Structure 1
Amino acid sequence: MAELDTSGGGKGKGGKVRSKKQSTRVDLTAMVDLAFLLITFFMLTTTLAKPQAMDLAMPDKEKQDQQELTIADNRTMTILLGANNRIEWYMGLVDKPLTPPQVDNYGRNGIRKALIENAKKVIATTGDPSKGLIVLIKPSDQSNYRNFVDILDEMKVTNIDRYAIVEISDPDIALLKRDGIYK
């Protein structure tokens, strides 16, 4: 390996005698050990990602005297979670929907657009912002956990605070099968 001679021994150009300089060597072993100790310390003491959680109010299972609420059909939007990350939604009841059932996907141009439009229509119809859209979310056994989290995220993004998670019924499953998003 080539070395650089930093010694200044011998005579220079002017004929002056210069003193011989010792070459300096710095041992970096201790510095490398210190660097690895610091890296290990900071890796163990920092949090890489904080868990995110959404508050969800669930009804009390032990209450026996739960009441059934009657809600106007024009305020109710039902979202069915099907297979292959697909959604089907309609306004009203499954027996007599106010809008024809539509198959959609998640995202800005999918269910989010439908939620925003229907929320505006309901407020325009009722004339009272406190009587806004109520969404019924019905996950099927063909949907996965990510679909459920995605639809709850859409509720948060669109500022819809009235929604319920309901068991899916047989007519809803028949609707999903008819449109090919239930196997």
Structure 2
Amino acid sequence: MAEIQQNAAGAGKPGKRRAKKMSTRIDMTPMVDLAFLLLTFFMLTTTFAKPYTMELEMPVKSTEPSKVPMSKAMTIILGKDHQVHYFTGLNAPSDKTVPIPELKTTYFALKGIREVLRKRQQGEPELVVLIKPSADSKYQDMVDILDEMNITRQKKYALVKITQDDLTLLKTAAL
């Protein structure tokens, strides 16, 4: 509420009489109360952004590595500049019966790795994808490839350390 205080100017002095000076004092309490009421109202009625999460089911840890048949395997190597290198089968140059895989390169796009995964799933429903991030890849690449696994409803995939044979294959393909 506003309040006006009156002081008698020149009271008790002889001579010229001056006009009364009035000072005002505004009580800010109701305005502060209203501001806090509005703030709490908007905080309680606003829906907050929910974080986007992806559920991962991890297998039971075993001591022996699982064997993946060559016909059911697809290897994806995450490279620099958001490149995705892939080949079917496994890279086993020590085994002379296994041919050297043909390395192909694509990107994270609608017609990129997603289309490759879908075509491969149609040919091999029991597909196992081995994801190998290189030292040049970014964290966002890992998030993107996991999103692609979720979008294409890939049932079996694994994050695997990149081997020296895979790095050699990348170097020979770059030449």
Normalised TM-score (structure 1): 0.66
Q: Distance in 2 between matches of 1:97 and 1:57?
A: 33
Is 1:176 equivalent to 2:173 in the alignment? no
Name the aligned partner's letter for residue 92 of structure 1.
G
In the alignment, is the contact (CA less than 8 A) between 2:103 and 2:173 conserved in 1? no
Q: Distance in 2 between matches of 1:89 and 1:137?
A: 9
User: Which residue does the alignment assign to 1:48?
Assistant: 48
The secondary structure found in structure 1 opposite 2:81 is coil
Is 1:76 equivalent to 2:73 in the alignment? yes
How far does residue 100 in structure 1 lie from its aligned partner after superposition?
1.9
- 1:54-105 per-residue CA deviation (whole Å, 9 max, x = no partner) reads 1223456xx6x61122221111000000111001000001134686210010
User: Which residue does the alignment assign to 2:103?
Assistant: 101
Q: Which moved more, 1:163-172 or 1:90-99?
A: 90-99
Q: Distance in 2 between matches of 1:146 and 1:43?
A: 34
Tell me: CA distance 1:31–1:89, structure 2 relative to 1, closer, same or farther (3 Å).
Answer: same
User: Which residue does the alignment assign to 1:134?
Assistant: 128
The CA RMSD measured in Å over matched residues stands at: 2.7
Q: Distance in 2 between matches of 1:86 and 1:43?
A: 45
Name the aligned partner's letter for residue 100 of structure 1.
E
Tell me: CA distance 1:97–1:144, structure 2 relative to 1, closer, same or farther (3 Å).
Answer: farther
Q: Whose strand proportion is higher, 1 or 2?
A: 2
Name the aligned partner's letter for residue 72 of structure 1.
P
- 1:24-48 per-residue CA deviation (whole Å, 9 max, x = no partner) reads xxxxxx67973x4355325544453
Q: Percent identity?
A: 38
Normalised TM-score (structure 2): 0.69
The secondary structure found in structure 1 opposite 2:82 is coil
- In structure 1, runs of 5+ residues without a counterpart are 1-29, 124-131
Matched residue pairs, number?
A: 140
Q: Which moved more, 1:51-60 or 1:65-74?
A: 51-60
User: Which residue does the alignment assign to 1:146?
Assistant: 140
The secondary structure found in structure 2 opposite 1:160 is coil
